[in-house]
Chains A and B, each alone.
Chain A
Amino acid sequence: MSGGVDSSTAAIILSRDGYEVIGVTMKLWRDDERRWDTAVKSCCSLDSVRDAKYICHKLGIPHYTIDYTEQFKSLVIDNFTDEYFAGKTPNPCIRCNTYMKWGELYRLARQLDAQYIATGHYARIMYDETTGEYSLLKGIDATKDQSYALWGIERKLISRTLLPLGGERKENIRGILKEYGIYFADKAESQEICFIPDNDLEGWLRSKAKEHNLEIPDGDILNENGEIVGRHKGFIHYTIGQRKGLGIAHPRPLYVKRVNSDKNIITVAEDEGLKVRSFTVDRLNWLINEPAAGNVLSFDVKIRYRHKPAPAKCVLNEDGAVEVSFAEPQRAVTPGQSAVFYDSEKVCGGGIIECVS
């Protein structure tokens, strides 16, 4: 329970439905250094823990705050930093779900003899009586669907998961909180990256570089023909599809097309130049029976949180990677982001976008 609207409502719904609920707030990082700034609020602050405790108190259920800062640092934050320094654009929420919630939290649930873990994600679990299998589906509310962030969880844990918000619409959620008289029903959505509460990613990366004694040298910006068209302030500060902060005069808008961390080069292109048909996905996880190598599968593939899944042919290689080929080229396929394979509503699996051809 982050103390936010979604996990709070999940606890309310489950209690209402007669489950014996135990509230857990996972303390993932410390905000000690920022305690002077009362304006910055985020999901691991003491304020948020207080809100989670308040909900549990109202529901008459136990609430525990457990410290997972060490695990979060080694499994999520360090990877996030490494990926940026390798010129990629990671999505830390996915690793957090896999290793923290469907890792540490599940372990805690077993220790407490609890049958399920539950979160406030907008996704659904479906049980098929004929096959006896559980699947992960998109949330009913398409605008809030968070199934994308759950591809990494271990398949066998789907049957041990409850996602009470998957069948709800966002507007109803706030209604449920109000109905229960919860004072923060109108609380703002949580910010992009929880451990960077001021949203200053650039400043955060600079301080990490300093910690690791790494230079962030500036370098050339090239166009698609390999001509120098400007200077960049360090490749880690750029992500594919980015338009802001390039500082290049050009008749039409330019976007980052490629980040070459080895050569410290950023390549830019006009919108049309950002479209990509095929790419490789690695570090896979399947939520269906694992397909055999050489198989050609048709999936709708989603390549970032706000991307509409697009039809693609997916070929499973011998080494376990998947070659994805979109029917229609898609804009800004970004290494480090996740590609998730959907069969209509169902999440079949996913992986990390490795290289883009």
Chain B
Amino acid sequence: MRKTYLDNNATTPLHPKVLEAMLPFYKELYGNPSSIHHFGREVSGAIADARHKAADLLGCDVSELYFTSGGTEADNLAVIGTAFANSEKGKHVITSPIEHHAVLEACHFLEKQGYEVTYLPVDSKGFVDPDELKKAIRKDTTVVSIMHINNETGVVQDIPALAKIAKESGVYFHTDAVQSAGKVPINLKEFGVDMLSASAHKINGPKGTGLIYIKKGTRIQRLAHGGSHESGMRAGTENVAGMIGMVKALEISCEMMDSELEKYGRYSSKLWDGLNEKLSDIVLNGPADERRLKNTLNISFKGIESEAILLNLDMLGIGVASGSACSSGSTEPSHVMLAMGVKPEIARGSVRISFGKFTTDEDIEYTLEQLPPVIERLRKMSPVA
């Protein structure tokens, strides 16, 4: 059976060059970078090189980058770490309802600790209104966390505008850039954020590695206590191969960015137009214009539930998602769709198709062949047999 992977927002295959860069650190370069001898020095030197490279690619100072175990840890550190460190100023945090669970659950944790969280509304396309942020900021607000590109719809928030509002009010601004770092240009010199989370495995890097940018001067408390790794921000012996792999992935992604963005635009139009030719009653969730990262196509097929589509496509070798892939692999109504005010019956039929570097024309053509008959068959038996 042909295998067609169209779930690149969940994760991506490791790039062969990334693997190649990582392998020495699983073999001969095994030293602990904290060690004083040459075994350690070789490795700490390689990490320093990688960190410089990443800082160049993201436009920040090398001392402002900290490697983590992934996007989730980076999000937790940003939200909880700043809320804790600035609790004398106040116990109010602002976020949006379409964040990844890594931010939402961190906020719920803070609520249990006696913090107050404001969830800014989003419009029907999934945008946070900067005026709403302005209104929500209070004297006791310490941090705002708004994601850059949404994993379910691809909607791109105007982060510079939002960050500017926070800055003017003296409030820290964090953005979850897990779905954007390496996919769209980000220059931290101009971006205006105080913190940014990124992940390796969304851009063909290894799983289990991420990083956080923390602007110099940000008051933040570390969460993992122990040694003085990562300048004391994050204790624990370094995931050396992961760090090397992440930076290599970032490098490759930045090199390929322009051509990839062009390709995503092409695939998105081709798939959307092709499906519209063959099927009626389909809805695009999120914006159709350039305010969406075109690697993501979130479509609702009216009258059917997304899991029925997903499972049928799975049996045809096509991997797509509904909502966000959660660790239990269960299908639940998407909190993002619901926050956008998408009617539950339409949200239930939403399927997320996401392209990546290894997506090909054949993948799109195969999907265009296979998907419409599945929808037609399911529509014939719905709503209830």
Contact = CB atoms under 8 A, between A and B. Distances in A.
Do A and B share a complex? yes
Range, interface on chain A: 10 to 19
A111 B378 CA distance: 6
A46 interface: yes
Contact of B381 (A62, A65, A111): A111
A53 interface: yes
B129 interface: no
Give the secondary structure class of A's interface: mixed
Interface centre among A46, A62, A66 (most CB of B within 10 A): A66
B36 interface: no
Interface string B358-383: 00000000000000000001100100
Nearest to A45: B328
Given A110-B385, A111-B381, A112-B312, A66 B328 contact: no
B114 interface: no
Interface in A58-75: 62, 64-67
A49 B330 CA distance: 9
Nearest to A111: B308
B385 A64 contact: no
A283 interface: no
B380 to A, nearest CB: 11
Interface in A81-107: 107
A47 to B, nearest CB: 10
A327 interface: no
Contact of A112 (B311, B328, B331): B311
Contacts of B327: 46
The 10 closest A-B pairs by CB, nearest first: A65-B330, A111-B308, A67-B332, A65-B329, A27-B330, A67-B330, A46-B328, A110-B385, A67-B331, A66-B307
Contacts of A112: 308, 311-312, 315
A66 B378 contact: no
A174 B315 CA distance: 31
Contacts of B384: 107
B64 interface: no
B140 interface: no
Interface string A17-45: 00000100001000000000000000000
A221 to B, nearest CB: 42
A108 B331 CA distance: 13
10 contacts: A27-B328, A49-B328, A62-B314, A64-B329, A65-B328, A65-B330, A107-B385, A110-B385, A111-B312, A113-B377
Contacts of A111: 308, 311-312, 378, 381
A67 B348 CA distance: 11
A53 B308 contact: no
Interface in A198-233: none
Contacts of B330: 27, 49, 65-67
Interface in B158-194: none
A219 B330 CA distance: 45
A108 B308 contact: yes
Contacts of B381: 110-111
Contacts of A107: 384-385
A196 B301 CA distance: 36
Contacts of A113: 312, 377
Interface string B326-345: 01111111000000000000
A307 to B, nearest CB: 35
A119 to B, nearest CB: 19
B129 to A, nearest CB: 31
B338 to A, nearest CB: 13
Given A53-B329, A67-B331, A110-B381, A62 B308 contact: no
A64 B385 CA distance: 21
Contacts of A67: 330-333
